[in-house]
Amino acid sequence: MAQGNNSIKKVLIVAFALCIVCSVIVSTAAVALRPMQQLNQELDRKTNILNVAKLYEPGMDVEEVFNEEITARVVDLDTGEYSEEFDPDTYDSFEGCE
């Protein structure tokens, strides 16, 4: 007696194929959306900084206001003074940590 489409082998093959297809779709979406996620994270960080500085207003151009009003500076924690030794745009505080 033939079981047709209800055999265990066919069910497992279809389930496995479906898992592979869905995995490829999700992986592709994650890779394709990564740049947008990074931009949104940066925008959120800038929005939070503007909020703390009480410069944020809903509907404003966050990038423009951030670039006009906020200046990145490096502070020497030992003296509390601004340091010109490092470039704040490229400084990595975790560099050299192991």
Task: Break the chain into its structural domains and give their ranges.
Answer: 7-83
Structure tokens at 54: 């009480």
Please state, in angstroms and rounded to a whole number, the distance separating the CA atoms of residues 19 and 59. Answer: 42
DSSP secondary-structure letter at 88? T
Structure tokens at 79: 């003296």
Report pLDDT for 98.
56
Alpha-carbon distances, residue 4 vs 1, 12, 13 (angstroms): 9, 14, 14
Phi, psi (deg, nearest 5) at residue 4 = 65, -130
Q: What is the pLDDT of residues 41-82, one digit of tens each?
A: 999 999 999 999 998 889 899 999 998 988 888 888 888 888
The three-class DSSP label of residue 98 is coil
What pTM did the predictor assign? Answer: 0.61
Calculate the average pLDDT of the chain.
Answer: 87
Helix extents (H) in 1-98: 8-52, 62-69
Give 91 or 46, the one with higher predicted confidence.
Answer: 46
Give 75 or 5, the one with higher predicted confidence.
Answer: 75
